[in-house]
């Protein structure tokens, strides 16, 4: 079973950095079984399509626009994750929507799709996430670790 943990975001757009920063923290804190790959996908969108080939489970980490209080953590799966032309979910959703839609058309959409993220407070230019989203990142990390554990791929703490 091949699993891809994909962080999306832009490191110079405050809370939009959530996915990328979470991948960095996961890589720093944990060691993962060989069937689990972590990837900072930045804002690459459709350029990530080849990385979905052969993936059974996809776990996406991203800053979200859910109309909730800043820092609120969300877990979405399957049909809860909008495809192309659905309501805007992520701050760079069209890239993610397009990626998932094309992967589905090509028969490469992973059977399991989960999104972990937090409601952003700001997506302005800036190198630091807001305090609400920075605090939420710990919940997102815990959720990702728990998700992988439930999938039989428990990460080990780094030495």
Residue 99, CA distances (Å) to 28, 84, 105, 106, 143 in order: 27, 9, 10, 11, 23
Q: What is the dihedral of CA 152, 24, 143, 90, to 10 degrees?
A: -120
CA distance 70 to 58: 25
Give the model's pLDDT for residue 110: 93
* Mean per-residue pLDDT, 28-50: 91
| Cβ-count burial 40-51 (b if 16+ within 10 Å, e if not) | bbbbbbeebbeb
* Mean per-residue pLDDT, 58-81: 91
Helix residue ranges, H only, the chain? 18-29, 49-52, 93-105, 131-150
Q: Give the pLDDT confidence of 117-139 residue by residue, as tens digits.
A: 999 998 889 999 999 999 999 99
What are the domain boundaries of the chain?
3-157
% of the chain at pLDDT higher than 70: 91
* Mean per-residue pLDDT, 59-76: 93
Domain 3-157 has CATH 3.40.50.1450: yes
Contact, 130 vs 21, CB < 8 A?
A: no
Give the model's pLDDT for residue 82: 65
pTM recorded for the entire structure: 0.90
Window from 16-30, 39-53, 116-130 with minimum mean pLDDT: 39-53
- Per the prediction, the chain carries an average pLDDT of 89
Q: How confident is the model at residue 80 (pLDDT cuts 50, 70, 90)?
A: confident
Give the model's pLDDT for residue 90: 52
Q: How confident is the model at residue 81 (pLDDT cuts 50, 70, 90)?
A: confident
Which positions ≥6 away from 40 have C-beta within 8 Å? Answer: 7, 19, 20, 23, 24
Facing residues of 156 across strands?
31
Q: How confident is the model at residue 87 (pLDDT cuts 50, 70, 90)?
A: very low
């Amino acid at each position: 079973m091949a699993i891809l943990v994909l962080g999306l975001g832009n490191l110079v757009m405050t809370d939009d950095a959530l996915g990328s920063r979470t991948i960095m923290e996961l890589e720093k804190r944990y060691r993962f079984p060989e069937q689990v790959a972590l990837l900072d996908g930045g804002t690459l969108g459709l350029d990530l399509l080849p990385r979905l080939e052969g993936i059974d489970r996809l776990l996406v980490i991203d800053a979200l626009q859910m109309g909730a209080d800043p820092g609120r953590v969300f877990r979405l799966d399957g049909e809860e994750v909008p495809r192309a032309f659905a309501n805007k979910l992520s701050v760079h959703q069209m890239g993610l929507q397009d990626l998932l839609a094309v992967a589905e058309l090509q028969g490469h959409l992973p059977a399991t799709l989960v999104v972990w993220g937090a409601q952003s407070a700001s997506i302005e230019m800036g190198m630091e996430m807001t305090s609400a989203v920075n605090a939420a990142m710990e919940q997102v990390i815990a959720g990702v670790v728990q998700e992988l554990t439930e999938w039989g791929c428990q990460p080990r703490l780094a030495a």
